[in-house]
Chain A
Amino acid sequence: MGVAVLLKQVPDTTAKIGISGGRVDESSITKWSISPYDEYALENAIKLKESGHGDVVAITCGPARAAKCLTEAAAVGADRLIHILTESSFDSIQVQSLLSAAVKESGCDVVMCGKQAADTNSGSTGPGLASSLGFSCVGGVTGVSIDGGVASATRLGPSGLEEVEVGVPCIFTFDKGDSELRRPNVRGIMMAKKKPIDSLTPDDLGVDASNSRVSIKSHSSPPEKQPGQKFVGSESVPEVVNKLRGEANVI
């Protein structure tokens, strides 16, 4: 029993990303948030708890600043908080090893996370973790309920939106659904501030932080667009259409 929800702290989607010395300049990022798809995972984890599927264990992996997203999760109802403290960048296998150890320790049989994080946009963690834990994996879901060890989920599958059944243990990766995200109340915020966070290091979890097989060489800004040609009024549409073929050669 129990739901582990994996939360990643990312620059808020409204934030501008500055580059300095060939690297993303984190000091230029003014606001950090829980990755948007992870927020849907959190909301649905709390719903599952309310329907009687044990406690919610919120887990994050990241530097000291990431603790904030655990406290935010506690404010809306997460029962236990685990922070895997990492300072350097890890490859997908290392991240999955860390999370796998934390999920095993939590004893949870259901894991929820976003279908991808808003920073790397990768989407490797959910299915990769499922494979290493031997859990089933249902991706791109918008809602989950569990009855007697069998979960029902709504997912956007290859042939459309469908309702599927799957046994637990299982990992669900969330898409944006129509779930209304709850906001914490004052009491929740006050209680969350007092909630202890279990801090673990990669060493504690038996993962070697030094051997990432993926290394970042550089970050850069996308090429600036040259100012384009501007036209006024719908009477200019035929001219622009001709340019799409003659100049741009795209139609």
Chain B
Amino acid sequence: MRTTVISESSNGALHPITAQLVGAASSLGGTITVICPGGVGSSDAAHISGVTKVISVEGDCFETYDCLAWSKSLSPLVEGDLILSSSSAIGRELISSIAASKGIPVVQDVITLTDGFSVTRTIYSGKAIEEVSISPPCAISLRANSFESAGEGGSAETTTVDVRQEVSIAVKQALARASERLDVSEADIIISGGRGMGDPANFTHLNEVADVLGAAVGASRAAVDTWDEIPHSMQVGQTGKTVTPNLYIAVGISGAIQHLAGMRSSKFILAINKDPEAPIFGVADYGIVSTWEDALPVLKDHLAELLSN
């Protein structure tokens, strides 16, 4: 068994999901090569336990994200029976492109992986679970926080490969900086607001609770569709993101079927809604019938107190 892991980076450093990809690969046995696009985080990757080899791929083409150019640079270095990546937007694109260039199938956003390969993933944004078998060689992207991270303590040899690849995409203008906030698809804890928040400005109250918890802030489709200030990148549910955090806090969200699909697999769900009949209470482990105006200040204060102890 030979696995190649495409590492994930964010803000110029190795993203923690890379250790989860290695953890999943380790459970299958065999050798694990980690490929670092642009060389980002290659020394940290070498310290992940279980890694056999790190290939730091460097070149000017990695200064701008260009899916085809990156894939052409990485593809010749990818070997083995299994290619793994994160199911982030870039992870999905890259692995699709690399798989296509090798003529092998790709299965995305997998949540369990067993030898052979049998994998499970959610379909219809969580309304159903699909189990598929894939014959190697193949490519699989894994959902964040679904696999145990490999620990530290590795000392893999690192090879640096310089590539020259023509880039066809040029950034002309930055229109808005990426949010400093954690993305909902990567977070352990998410607090989401719905149209019940009344006004997009009231999302600052969710941000305050999120800051206490280190949580990401999400939104329902109704909130995103109603208010221009709430970007689609925050949307949880079908046509948005499917999430499986340890804790999902839904505030002022009634629980439309397409929202429930995207968050019902969260480990624990806390719902705060003033309507005792709201469907969100049907999937909540803890439900509080209250307005957000009453509940959020108390929630913030008690969380802050508990977490400071």
- Residues of chain A having any CB pair with chain B under 8 Å: 11, 13-14, 16-17, 19, 24, 36-37, 91-93, 96, 115-116, 118-132, 134-140, 152, 154, 156-167, 170, 175-176, 178, 212-222, 225, 227-238, 240-245, 248, 250-251
| A159-B178, A219-B131 known, 4 other contacts, Cβ within 8 Å | A16-B127, A19-B128, A128-B97, A251-B307
The number of A-B residue pairs with CB atoms under 8 Å apart is: 278
Q: Which residues of B contact A120 (CB under 8 A)?
A: 108, 123
B149 CB to nearest chain A CB (Å): 18
Task: List 12 A-B pairs, Cβ < 8 Å.
Answer: A13-B238, A122-B92, A124-B92, A129-B100, A158-B178, A159-B178, A160-B175, A160-B176, A237-B288, A237-B299, A244-B268, A248-B267
Bound Cα distance A142, B174 (Å): 14
Bound Cα distance A242, B270 (Å): 13
- Residues of chain B having any CB pair with chain A under 8 Å: 10, 65-68, 71, 89-90, 92-94, 96-101, 103-109, 118, 122-135, 138, 168-178, 189, 213, 228, 232-233, 235, 238-239, 242, 246-247, 257-258, 264-265, 267-270, 276, 281-291, 294-295, 298-299, 302-303, 306-307
Q: Would B168 and A118 count as touching, CB distance under 8 A?
A: no
Q: Would A164 and B170 count as touching, CB distance under 8 A?
A: yes
Q: Would B294 and A163 count as touching, CB distance under 8 A?
A: no
**Closest residue to B188 on the A side, CB-wise?**
A250
- Which of the residues A121, A131, A157 comes within 8 Å of B71, measured between beta carbons? A131
Q: Would B97 and A127 count as touching, CB distance under 8 A?
A: yes
A242 CB to nearest chain B CB (Å): 7
Q: Would A11 and B124 count as touching, CB distance under 8 A?
A: yes
Q: Which residues of A contact B169 (CB under 8 A)?
A: 136, 138, 164-166
The winner among A37, A175, A231 for most chain B CB atoms within 10 A is A231
The winner among A127, A130, A138, A140 for most chain B CB atoms within 10 A is A127
B305 CB to nearest chain A CB (Å): 9
Q: Would B92 and A123 count as touching, CB distance under 8 A?
A: yes
Q: Would A159 and B174 count as touching, CB distance under 8 A?
A: yes
Please name the 9 residue pairs, one residue from A and one from B, whose CB atoms are nearest each other, closest first: A234-B294, A128-B100, A131-B100, A160-B178, A91-B105, A161-B176, A237-B298, A122-B108, A228-B285
Bound Cα distance A213, B117 (Å): 11
**Closest residue to B91 on the A side, CB-wise?**
A123
The winner among B93, B178, B242, B246 for most chain A CB atoms within 10 A is B93
Q: Would A219 and B129 count as touching, CB distance under 8 A?
A: yes
Q: Which residues of A contact B90 (CB under 8 A)?
A: 158
**Closest residue to A232 on the B side, CB-wise?**
B289
Q: Which residues of B contact A126 (CB under 8 A)?
A: 93, 96
- Which of the residues A164, A222, A237, A250 comes within 8 Å of B127, measured between beta carbons? A222
Q: A164-B170, A217-B131, A241-B303 are in contact. Are A222 and B122 (CB under 8 A)?
A: yes
- Which of the residues A176, A225, A251 comes within 8 Å of B239, measured between beta carbons? A176
B69 CB to nearest chain A CB (Å): 8
Q: Which residues of A contact B276 (CB under 8 A)?
A: 230, 232
A207 CB to nearest chain B CB (Å): 12
A20 CB to nearest chain B CB (Å): 12
Q: Which residues of A contact B171 (CB under 8 A)?
A: 157, 162-164
Bound Cα distance A150, B265 (Å): 44
Q: Would A251 and B65 count as touching, CB distance under 8 A?
A: no
Q: Would A245 and B264 count as touching, CB distance under 8 A?
A: no
Q: Would A37 and B178 count as touching, CB distance under 8 A?
A: no
A186 CB to nearest chain B CB (Å): 27
Bound Cα distance A156, B268 (Å): 30
A36 CB to nearest chain B CB (Å): 5
A30 CB to nearest chain B CB (Å): 13
Q: Which residues of A contact B267 (CB under 8 A)?
A: 248, 250
Q: Would A234 and B295 count as touching, CB distance under 8 A?
A: yes
Q: Would B109 and A121 count as touching, CB distance under 8 A?
A: yes
A73 CB to nearest chain B CB (Å): 19
Q: Would B286 and A229 count as touching, CB distance under 8 A?
A: yes
Bound Cα distance A142, B188 (Å): 29
